[in-house]
């Protein structure tokens, strides 16, 4: 059956008008030329990219939600892959927290539209595509050791002869029995040795989204699309298509790979540059903030100094006013004291004259005393002396800071 279909495909590609083929060919050559220029410039980076970092590869099989090797690895449209149970839980939580029509990928925040009803969450997660990449990485990791993964999780070391292709897990006979009863025999289980011999055995061919009964058997080289036979005839009639089962040997050397590598290289260079820009932006901002803090400190020191100066100035002015007023009051006190002493002396003189002086003597003395008492009284009246309380006040109103 498949060989007949293959012939069909070849005939289809032969039917392609030659001009179209040529145009396409020349366009590709141009693309390649551009690619070569860039590649030669960035040779070191490109070769680094080809040497895989084992830690980075291992990260691919670890679920970002439970931080363990994935079980039933399912990928979202953004290709981020999680355990089926983990992503189900994540979607349920997201739905409970928001009224949005979408949830976001836990790793890259890509928006994914999901059915509203919560009982559909599990079926949605089940309907997500199995990550064949993660599955095969997990099988590479676990199959050769032939140890039961479930037993290992419980600290036991048991030989495993079974491989659940759905969960991408090795299982011992005991765990297999339990596993099958739990999943109502729906998971395809294979013999470990068989899977080692033929790694593709676990990956049942996908069915077409639009034609449920059709296997996704064909690959369109022009659109890089996997499709079913019906879709191939309808949408890729003029394209160079091939049967996945037979004609995949050239896929890894396809000219598009160069473009893809270049594209990813340019994206990662761009994002790395953006990342560096943001980091240096943060660094610059941090520097600026600590500089400003220094400035605030310096500002405070200046304010302190100005306050010190002001305090000194005010004290100086106050001292000046104080000493002026003090002199004034002391002078006043001195004058009053002199008048007081004079009045006392006049009183004594009057007593002495009245007691001891002869009448003739006392006549002129009394006239003198009387005259001076009048003078003293006049002086005091002229002074209109009234006690004034001195108010000394410091005001900051008219001062500049």
Task: Give the binding site for Zn ion (CB under 5 A).
Answer: 63, 65-66, 78, 80, 83, 86, 105, 107-108, 110, 148, 150-151, 158, 164, 166-167, 172, 175, 187, 208, 210-211, 220, 222-223, 228, 230-231, 236, 239
Close Cβ partners of 203 (under 8 Å, ≥ 6 residues apart): 130, 132, 135, 165
DSSP line for 119-155: THHHHHHHHSPB-HHHHHHHHHHHHTTTB-HHHHHTT
Which residue in this structure is represented by tokens 């995949």?
Answer: 248
CA distances from 193 to 145, 149, 150, 160, 176 (A): 11, 16, 19, 10, 16
- Nearer CB in complex with Zn ion: 176/353: 176
Least CB distance to Zn ion at residue 401 (A): 58
Least CB distance to Zn ion at residue 184 (A): 11
Closest CA to 132 of 191, 187, 226, 200: 200
What are the phi and psi torsion angles at 169 (to 5°)?
Answer: -140, 145
Least CB distance to Zn ion at residue 249 (A): 20
Least CB distance to Zn ion at residue 74 (A): 10
Across 254-291, b (16+ Cβ under 10 Å) vs e yields: eeeebeeebeebeeeeeeeeeeeeeeeeeeeeeeeeee
Which residue in this structure is represented by tokens 């660094």?
Answer: 283
Least CB distance to Zn ion at residue 71 (A): 7
- Nearer CB in complex with Zn ion: 210/299: 210
Which value, in Å, is the radius of gyration of the alpha carbons in the chain? 52
Least CB distance to Zn ion at residue 206 (A): 11
Length of the chain in residues, anyone? 401
- Nearer CB in complex with Zn ion: 59/337: 59
The residues facing 289 across adjacent strands are none
- Nearer CB in complex with Zn ion: 238/284: 238
- Nearer CB in complex with Zn ion: 244/373: 244
- Nearer CB in complex with Zn ion: 169/258: 169
Least CB distance to Zn ion at residue 132 (A): 15
Contact between 176 and 189 under an 8 Å Cβ cutoff? The reply is yes
Least CB distance to Zn ion at residue 177 (A): 10
Closest CA to 21 of 13, 10, 31: 13
- Nearer CB in complex with Zn ion: 212/356: 212
- Nearer CB in complex with Zn ion: 48/126: 126
């Amino acid at each position: 059956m498949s060989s007949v279909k293959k012939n069909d495909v070849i005939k289809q590609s032969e039917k392609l008008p030659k001009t179209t083929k040529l145009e396409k060919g020349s366009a590709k050559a141009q693309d390649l030329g551009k690619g070569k220029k860039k590649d030669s410039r960035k040779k070191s980076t490109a070769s680094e990219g080809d040497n895989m970092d084992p830690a980075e590869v291992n990260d691919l099989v670890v679920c970002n939600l439970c931080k363990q090797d994935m079980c039933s690895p399912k990928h979202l449209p953004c290709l981020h892959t999680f355990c089926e149970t983990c992503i189900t839980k994540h979607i349920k939580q997201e739905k409970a927290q928001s009224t949005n029509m979408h949830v976001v990928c836990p790793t890259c925040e890509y928006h994914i539209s999901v059915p509203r009803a919560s009982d559909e969450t599990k079926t949605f997660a089940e309907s997500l595509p199995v990550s064949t990449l993660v599955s095969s990485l997990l099988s590479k990791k676990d199959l050769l050791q032939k140890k039961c993964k479930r037993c290992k999780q419980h600290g036991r070391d048991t030989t495993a002869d079974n491989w659940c292709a759905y969960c991408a897990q090795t299982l011992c006979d005991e765990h297999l029995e339990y596993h099958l009863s739990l999943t109502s025999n729906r998971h395809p289980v294979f013999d470990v040795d068989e899977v080692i011999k033929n790694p593709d055995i676990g990956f049942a061919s996908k069915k077409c989204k639009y034609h449920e009964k059709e296997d996704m058997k064909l690959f369109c080289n022009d659109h890089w699309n996997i499709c079913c036979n019906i879709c191939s005839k309808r949408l890729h009639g003029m394209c160079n298509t091939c049967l996945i089962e037979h004609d995949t040997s050239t896929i890894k050397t396809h000219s598009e790979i160069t473009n893809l590598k270049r594209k990813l290289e340019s994206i990662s260079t761009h994002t790395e540059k953006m990342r560096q820009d943001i980091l240096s932006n943060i660094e610059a901002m941090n520097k600026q903030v600590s500089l400003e803090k220094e400035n605030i400190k310096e500002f405070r020191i200046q304010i302190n100094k100005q306050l010190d100066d002001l305090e000194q100035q005010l004290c100086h002015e106050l001292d000046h006013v104080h000493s002026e007023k003090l002199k004034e009051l002391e002078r006043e006190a001195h004058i009053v004291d002199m008048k007081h002493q004079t009045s006392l002396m006049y009183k004594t003189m009057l007593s002495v004259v009245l007691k001891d002086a002869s009448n003739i003597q006392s006549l002129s003395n009394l006239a003198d005393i009387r005259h001076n008492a009048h003078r003293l009284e006049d002086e005091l009246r002229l002074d209109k002396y009234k006690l004034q309380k001195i108010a000394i006040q410091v005001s900051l109103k008219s001062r500049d800071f």
